[in-house]
Amino acid sequence: MSRLVRQSVAACGVSTQGPWVVQRGGQTNRVWHLQDQGLIVKLYLAVDNPLFANDPSAEAECLSRLSSQGLAPELIAQGECADGRWIVYRHIDGDPWNSEPAPVAQILRRVHAQPLPDLASAPDTDESLRSVTESLIRRLSGAAAQHLRRLEPAPPADHPPPRRTLLHGDPVPGNILIDGSNATLIDWQCPGIGDPAHDLALFLSPGMQQVYRGAPLTAAERATTLAAYDCAVTSARLTALQPSYHWLIAAYCTWKSERGAPHYRAAAEVECAALS
């Protein structure tokens, strides 16, 4: 536990007594559970990630806007010390999502219906998806880059134009807590504005499901997700852009694997298999 973070949090009037239990589910920042207070402290670390941003201001804004609707945890405090920016939010009971995708689709539909905050645009067009994919491929070793370039999909056929909605930006199983029939989204550090197909593509991604759940969704689980989301236009746009999303996430998982996260290797393989 960081002494400087503890002092900085306490200076904002938050009780820091009792144990700080390290939370090991996240892959980007340092997170502690203050069990006696029922709070979570997140310390943001500097990251270089072409796909998932790490913006404490954006997370604080989303928590402030969405917690009253049960879409996100309640923001308690935010601040900064020599170790970096931090936020404190209310601990949410529940376990990371593992099955029954309908509640995930329903909470994403609610998020996508929210008023638009001032956030960066997400890569949700074929051109922007390919641009991010290319930036990832340029960082890969020669053999991996060549393999992914051979898998580059053809441009999509005509599809509905993009909508502008609030996006969570990283709705993978580890960021969705389930308590009974209730779902809550956590880790709002990379939200954005863009088409809702973006969030659905990330949740449905075989690679992301492999990383967090150990296996891709079945065809039935995928169908249940889209049926529960219940928007024909979004489903059509997702279908058209799906190869581009597979290519992007295959490149991302390969990049993560080459940067010392070996469990992403299998994720890259299942994403490539879905693409081919």
Q: Give the domain-ending residue among 31, 63, 90.
A: 90
In this prediction, residue 1 has a pLDDT band, given cuts at 50, 70 and 90, of low
Q: Give the domain-ending residue among 69, 90, 111.
A: 90
Task: For the beta carbon of residue 46, count every other beta carbon within 10 angstroms.
Answer: 6
Same structural domain, 128 and 66 = no
Residue 144 has pLDDT above 90, yes or no: yes
In this prediction, residue 159 has a pLDDT band, given cuts at 50, 70 and 90, of confident
Instruction: Extract the tokens encoding 17.
Output: 């007594």
**Separation between Cα atoms, residue 96 and residue 184, nearest integer Å:** 10
**Separation between Cα atoms, residue 186 and residue 148, nearest integer Å:** 31
Check residue 205 and give its pLDDT.
98
In this prediction, residue 24 has a pLDDT band, given cuts at 50, 70 and 90, of confident
Torsion of CA 178, 179, 180, 184, to 10 degrees: -50
Same structural domain, 114 and 66 = no
Q: Give the domain-ending residue among 90, 108, 124.
A: 90
Alpha carbons within 13 angstroms on the beta-carbon side of residue 68 total 4
Instruction: Extract the tokens encoding 233.
Output: 């236009």
Check residue 45 and give its pLDDT.
95
* CATH number of the domain that residue 143 is part of: 3.90.1200.10
Residue 149 has pLDDT above 70, yes or no: yes
**Separation between Cα atoms, residue 234 and residue 173, nearest integer Å:** 21
Same structural domain, 261 and 177 = yes
pLDDT in tens, 31-63: 999 999 999 999 999 989 999 999 999 999 999
pLDDT in tens, 194-240: 999 999 999 999 999 999 999 999 999 999 999 999 999 999 999 99
Check residue 181 and give its pLDDT.
86
Same structural domain, 68 and 188 = no
* CATH number of the domain that residue 85 is part of: 3.30.200.20
* Section 127-138 average pLDDT: 97
In this prediction, residue 270 has a pLDDT band, given cuts at 50, 70 and 90, of very high
**Separation between Cα atoms, residue 168 and residue 196, nearest integer Å:** 9
Check residue 130 and give its pLDDT.
97
Same structural domain, 228 and 184 = yes
Same structural domain, 56 and 119 = no
Same structural domain, 121 and 11 = no
DSSP, residue by residue, 110-154:
HHHTSPP-S-PBP--SHHHHHHHHHHHHTTS-HHHHHHHHHTPPP
In this prediction, residue 66 has a pLDDT band, given cuts at 50, 70 and 90, of very high
Torsion of CA 98, 92, 166, 138, to 10 degrees: -60
pLDDT in tens, 92-107: 999 999 999 999 999 9
With b for 16 or more beta-carbon neighbours within 10 A and e for fewer, the 173-188 pattern comes to: bbbbbbeeeebbbbbb
**Separation between Cα atoms, residue 29 and residue 46, nearest integer Å:** 9
In this prediction, residue 157 has a pLDDT band, given cuts at 50, 70 and 90, of confident
Phi, psi of 123 (to 5 degrees): -75, 100
Same structural domain, 207 and 271 = yes
Residue 28 has pLDDT above 90, yes or no: no
Phi, psi of 98 (to 5 degrees): -140, -25
Same structural domain, 107 and 73 = no
Same structural domain, 205 and 77 = no
- Number of structural domains (the chain) is 2
Q: Are 207 and 268 in contact (CB under 8 A)?
A: yes
Bridge partners, residue 90, by sequence? 39
Same structural domain, 83 and 119 = no
Contacts of 246 (CB under 8 A, 6+ apart): 153, 205, 206, 271, 272, 274, 275
The tokens 């997400």 sit on which residue?
122
Q: Are 267 and 250 in contact (CB under 8 A)?
A: no
Same structural domain, 187 and 236 = yes
Contacts of 113 (CB under 8 A, 6+ apart): 165
Domain residue limits at 69: 3-90
With b for 16 or more beta-carbon neighbours within 10 A and e for fewer, the 105-126 pattern comes to: bbbbbebbeeeeeebeebbbbb
DSSP 83: T
DSSP 174: G
Q: Are 30 and 68 in contact (CB under 8 A)?
A: no
